[in-house]
């Protein structure tokens, strides 16, 4: 009897075995770069790109007029040989490369640029790329006097005009393949929804290396759709994928121990984590809390009482720097280096709070009416580093007698609270900054705008400093010289430091993982960190892969 059962058990195991043996073998390096997208690409039309996955595909397939070199942070000619911006900042004229073709053979002329710009500036089109160009009311005029020149005139000056063209991938006006005909180093060859995207080398790509060999070196790029970061790291360790574009601190340390040559930390990036208090007058909060959050001394004291270096050291294992303003020091030009760096000072914080009428009694901070100071911070669930940051802030603020609660919410509920119902007290979120130019943050600093998170969509500025911010943002948007814009933006940073509407916490480092099999990589601080020079990457034999198999 037992024997029969054992036979049956063995049969069961045998049923399962074939699935264990010979599971998908890692792809052989030999011309195909393999990495992961963190979500499903929503569109292949470069004009409609709004999330990371589509943006990655646009970067790899789109041909742009001007390319921002992610390493030097300087603008480089790409499809345009040269360009000129008029003194009033409204017109930009391009001289284009001649003799180029789209991936399907259609010739590239100024017609295509005109077609792309017309489609982009169509008022019916709603996209972040197009909206970045919209500086004022009126029609955009596009002239293509010859096959290799094109001039675009905007109704009002557009700040940082040239840089914006790094996001505009040129579409073909005449190709039957529409947006699938591209000018970039790769084109979309295959798309399996939910699974992967395959990009193949565009043989008509214009760029050549310094020896005159046509780029790109890679035959193809396979992008798997992989949402889970643990699995992404696991697959990188196994050698199934060649790079991870944005790596979190905890995975970085794990990888650095096992594969030190693969983990790259390019230094402080542009991404910031910050916290703010709800200052909306119609918010469903008690009057006393509204008064606390509106008091500048309260916000400044909270900022002083948070130990940012501990946050960087413990939560991010040293892979972050304390942040004090909206601009990261990695943004060399726009960062205001003349501002003093505040120190962690809980005694000073208490002094500042005393000025606003708060008193510390028996280890509890009370306001002038005797109410205990306590508030709740909301953040999005699933983000361990944010939860850990709030846990550390809880301890920091408990030392000045403030009790902080944390509630994590799923993202849609969180957004509903901060943009519609305003039913929250404080919120901790991060900003993923892809643009160096502060003009992209217009909708954050204007008091009438949607993203002025602490008090959005004001009919008129609620405070004098917000009115000043409005004036400065408008001034820098219409200024034509970078020096004038920098002066305005420096003043904005100063006001933010004095008023602390956003309490900036840390600037995360730009970390990526690149397999030693990838030759020619140069991880940068700007996104895409690991594959910004995809057309110059090549795959060599990987000594580590042999040992892993």
Partner 1 sequence: MIKHEKAAILFRHALRRFSFLLCLGIAGALFSATLVRFAPGYGVQERELDPRWSAQSVEALRQEQVLHEGLASFYFHYLSALAHGDFGESDSLKRPVRELLAQRLPLTGNAIIRGLGVAWLAAALLAYLGLASRGWFYEASGTAVSSLLLSLPSAVIAMLAVHLRAPAFCAISVVVFPRLHRYMRSLLVRSYDQPHVLAARARGLGSVSIFWRHVLPLAMPPLLALLGVSFAIAFGAAIPIEALCDSPGLGQLAWQAALSRDLPLIVNVTLIVCLVMLAANALADLAGRAFAGDTQ
Partner 2 sequence: MSPVQKAAALTLCLIFALMVFATIFVPAPYARQFRDVPNAGPSTAHPLGTDALGRDSLSRLLYGTRVSLLLAPAAALLSTLIAAVLGSAAGFLGGSFERIVLAVTDISLALPWLFLLLTVRAMLPLDVPPMASVIIAFLMMGLLGWQASVRVICAAARGVRDSDFLLLARSSGCKPARLLLCQVAPNLRPLFYAQFWISIPLFILTEANLSILGLGVMEPMPSWGNLLRGFEDFSAVAANPWRLVPLILLVIVVMCFQLVLPSQEVIQ
Site residues, partner 2 (CB under 8 A): 230, 250, 254, 258, 310, 313-315, 374, 376, 378, 381-382, 387-388, 390-392, 394-395, 405-410, 413, 423-425
Rounded CA-CA distance 409/127 in Å is 28
Rounded CA-CA distance 316/240 in Å is 27
Q: Of partner 2, partner 1, none, which one sits near residue 254, judging by CB under 5 to 8 A according to partner kind? A: partner 2
Rounded CA-CA distance 350/373 in Å is 13
**Cβ nearer to partner 2, comparing 141 with 253:** 253
Q: How many CB atoms lie within 10 A of CB 61?
A: 25
Place of tokens 């993982």: 513
Q: Of partner 1, partner 2, none, which one sits near residue 24, judging by CB under 5 to 8 A according to partner kind? A: partner 1
Min separation Cβ 519 and partner 2, Å: 28
Q: What are phi and psi of 201, to 5 degrees?
A: -60, 135
Q: Of partner 2, partner 1, none, which one sits near residue 147, judging by CB under 5 to 8 A according to partner kind? A: none
Reading the block at residue 548, the tokens are 């892993």
Rounded CA-CA distance 27/24 in Å is 9
**Cβ nearer to partner 1, comparing 46 with 185:** 46
Reading the block at residue 134, the tokens are 């919209």
Rounded CA-CA distance 47/50 in Å is 9
Reading the block at residue 392, the tokens are 């550390």
**Cβ nearer to partner 1, comparing 460 with 483:** 460
Give the closest residue to 535 by CA, choosing from 70, 148, 224.
Answer: 70
Q: Which residues 6+ apart lie within 8 Å of 346 measured at CB?
A: 304, 305, 396, 399, 400
Cα 170 from chain centroid (whole Å): 23
Min separation Cβ 405 and partner 2, Å: 6
Q: Of partner 1, partner 2, none, which one sits near residue 442, judging by CB under 5 to 8 A according to partner kind? A: partner 1
Binding site for partner 1 (CB under 8 A): 1-2, 5, 8-9, 12, 15-16, 19-20, 23-24, 40, 42, 50-51, 126-129, 131-132, 134, 193-195, 225-228, 230-231, 234, 410-417, 419-420, 429, 440-444, 449-451
Min separation Cβ 412 and partner 2, Å: 9
Q: Of partner 2, partner 1, none, which one sits near residue 478, judging by CB under 5 to 8 A according to partner kind? A: none
**Cβ nearer to partner 1, comparing 37 with 150:** 37
- According to DSSP, the residues that pair with 365 across neighbouring strands are 360
**Cβ nearer to partner 2, comparing 154 with 424:** 424
Min separation Cβ 19 and partner 1, Å: 5
* DSSP-derived 3-state class of residue 501: coil
Q: Of partner 2, partner 1, none, which one sits near residue 291, judging by CB under 5 to 8 A according to partner kind? A: none
Reading the block at residue 458, the tokens are 């004001």
Q: Of partner 2, partner 1, none, which one sits near residue 407, judging by CB under 5 to 8 A according to partner kind? A: partner 2
Reading the block at residue 34, the tokens are 């393999």
Min separation Cβ 381 and partner 2, Å: 5
Min separation Cβ 352 and partner 1, Å: 30
- According to DSSP, the residues that pair with 343 across neighbouring strands are none
Angular region, 476: left φ>0, alpha ψ -120 to 50, beta rest: alpha
* DSSP-derived 3-state class of residue 44: coil
**Cβ nearer to partner 1, comparing 1 with 74:** 1
Are 521 and 542 within 8 A, CB to CB? no
Rounded CA-CA distance 162/166 in Å is 8
Min separation Cβ 311 and partner 2, Å: 10
**Cβ nearer to partner 2, comparing 212 with 412:** 412
**Cβ nearer to partner 2, comparing 281 with 284:** 284
Q: Which residues 6+ apart lie within 8 Å of 13 measured at CB?
A: none
Min separation Cβ 378 and partner 1, Å: 12
Give the closest residue to 96 by CA, choosing from 170, 198, 159.
Answer: 170
- According to DSSP, the residues that pair with 516 across neighbouring strands are none
Min separation Cβ 204 and partner 2, Å: 45
Min separation Cβ 414 and partner 2, Å: 9
**Cβ nearer to partner 2, comparing 126 with 384:** 384
Min separation Cβ 548 and partner 1, Å: 13
Q: Which residues 6+ apart lie within 8 Å of 424 measured at CB?
A: 278, 283, 376, 378, 417, 418
Q: Of partner 2, partner 1, none, which one sits near residue 12, judging by CB under 5 to 8 A according to partner kind? A: partner 1
- According to DSSP, the residues that pair with 152 across neighbouring strands are 92, 142
**Cβ nearer to partner 1, comparing 26 with 114:** 26
Q: Of partner 1, partner 2, none, which one sits near residue 499, judging by CB under 5 to 8 A according to partner kind? A: none
Min separation Cβ 233 and partner 2, Å: 9
List, edge to edge, every strand of the sheet that includes 91-96.
Answer: 80-85, 91-96, 149-153, 141-146
**Cβ nearer to partner 1, comparing 137 with 362:** 137
Min separation Cβ 415 and partner 1, Å: 5
Q: Of partner 1, partner 2, none, which one sits near residue 261, judging by CB under 5 to 8 A according to partner kind? A: none
Are 330 and 509 within 8 A, CB to CB? no
Q: Of partner 1, partner 2, none, which one sits near residue 415, judging by CB under 5 to 8 A according to partner kind? A: partner 1
Rounded CA-CA distance 185/216 in Å is 6
**Cβ nearer to partner 1, comparing 15 with 341:** 15
Which segments of 209-258 does DSSP mark as H helices, in order? 229-238, 249-258
Q: Of partner 1, partner 2, none, which one sits near residue 1, judging by CB under 5 to 8 A according to partner kind? A: partner 1
Rounded CA-CA distance 389/307 in Å is 10
**Cβ nearer to partner 1, comparing 333 with 411:** 411
Q: Of partner 2, partner 1, none, which one sits near residue 378, judging by CB under 5 to 8 A according to partner kind? A: partner 2
């Amino acid at each position: 009897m037992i024997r029969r059962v054992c036979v049956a058990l063995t049969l069961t195991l045998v049923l399962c075995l074939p699935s264990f043996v010979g599971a998908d073998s890692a792809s052989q390096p030999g011309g195909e770069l393999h990495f992961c997208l963190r979500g499903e690409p929503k569109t292949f039309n470069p004009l409609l790109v709004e999330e990371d996955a589509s943006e990655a595909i646009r970067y790899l397939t789109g041909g742009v007029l001007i390319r921002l070199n992610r390493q030097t942070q300087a603008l480089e000619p790409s499809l345009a040989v040269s360009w000129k911006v008029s003194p009033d900042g409204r017109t930009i004229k391009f001289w284009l490369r001649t003799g180029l073709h789209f991936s399907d053979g259609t010739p590239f002329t100024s017609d295509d640029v005109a077609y792309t710009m017309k489609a982009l500036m169509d008022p019916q089109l709603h996209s972040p790329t197009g909206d970045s160009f919209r500086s004022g009311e009126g029609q955009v005029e596009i002239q293509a006097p010859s096959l290799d020149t094109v001039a675009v005139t905007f109704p009002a000056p557009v700040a940082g005009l040239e840089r914006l063209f790094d996001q505009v991938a040129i579409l073909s006006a005449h190709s039957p393949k529409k947006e699938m005909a591209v000018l970039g180093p790769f084109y979309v060859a295959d798309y399996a929804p939910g699974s992967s995207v395959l990009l193949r080398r565009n043989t008509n790509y214009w760029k050549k290396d310094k020896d005159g060999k046509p780029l790109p070196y890679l035959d193809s790029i396979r992008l798997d759709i992989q949402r889970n970061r643990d699995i992404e790291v696991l697959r990188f360790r196994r050698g199934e994928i060649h790079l991870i574009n944005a790596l979190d601190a905890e995975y970085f340390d794990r990888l650095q121990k096992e594969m030190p040559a693969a983990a790259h930390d390019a230094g402080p990036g542009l991404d910031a984590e910050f916290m703010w208090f709800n200052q909306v007058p119609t918010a469903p909060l008690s009057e006393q809390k509204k008064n606390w959050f509106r008091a500048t001394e309260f916000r400044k004291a909270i900022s002083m009482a948070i130990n940012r270096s501990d946050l960087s050291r413990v939560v991010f294992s040293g892979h972050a720097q304390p942040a004090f303003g909206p601009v990261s020091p990695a943004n060399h030009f726009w960062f205001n280096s003349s501002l003093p760096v505040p120190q962690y000072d809980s005694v000073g914080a208490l002094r500042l709070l005393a000025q606003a009428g708060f008193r510390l009694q028996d280890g509890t901070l009370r306001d002038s009416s005797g109410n205990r100071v306590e508030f709740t911070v909301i953040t999005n669930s699933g983000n361990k580093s944010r939860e850990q940051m709030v846990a550390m802030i809880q301890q920091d603020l408990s030392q000045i007698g403030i009790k902080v609660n944390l509630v994590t919410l799923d993202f849609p509920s969180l957004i509903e609270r901060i943009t519609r119902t305003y039913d929250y007290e404080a919120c901790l979120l991060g900003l993923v900054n892809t643009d160096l130019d502060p003009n992209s943050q217009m909708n954050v600093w204007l008091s009438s705008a949607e993203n002025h998170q602490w008090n959005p969509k004001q009919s008129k500025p609620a405070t004098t400093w917000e009115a000043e911010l409005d004036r400065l943002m408008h001034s820098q948007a219409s200024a034509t010289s970078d020096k004038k814009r920098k002066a305005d933006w420096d003043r904005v940073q100063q006001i933010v430091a004095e008023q602390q509407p956003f309490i900036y916490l840390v600037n995360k480092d730009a970390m990526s993982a690149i397999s030693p099999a990838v030759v020619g990589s140069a991880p940068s601080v700007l996104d895409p960190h690991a594959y910004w020079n995809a057309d110059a990457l090549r795959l060599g034999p990987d000594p580590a892969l042999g040992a892993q198999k």
